[in-house]
Amino acid sequence: MNDIMTITFRSAGIILAEDLTAGLIHWIEDAYIREHRPLIGQWIGRPNTIHHHLPRRMTRNSWLQSDRDELVAVLLILIAAALSGRLE
């Protein structure tokens, strides 16, 4: 029973942390990343602007096209975790 409670609370904590992180990333995109920014403007800024002006247009994209910036962020976090010895 103790294991079930631990798994339940850890799972809830992970879901809440992920939701907070996704919200924070979305806020940063909205507040600071514009199309004219070097390096990331065309990659993140332009799709984000289009998303806010034409919200349903993103449904024409594949899942990979829509979530590539999140996938890159997760990959960077995993690399950092692996390099710091957090992954076993």
| Residue from 47, 88, 50 nearest 69 by CA | 47
| Mean per-residue pLDDT, 35-41 | 85
| Mean per-residue pLDDT, 24-30 | 88
Give the tens place of pLDDT for each residue, 41-61.
Answer: 888 888 888 888 888 988 888
Nearest-5° angle of CA 62, CA 39, CA 67?
Answer: 20
What pLDDT does residue 9 have?
92
Least confident of 4-8, 25-29, 67-71: 67-71
Q: Look at the pTM and tell me if it is higher than 0.85.
A: no
What pLDDT does residue 88 have?
66
Residue 61 identity (one-letter amino acid): N
For the chain, the residue count is 88
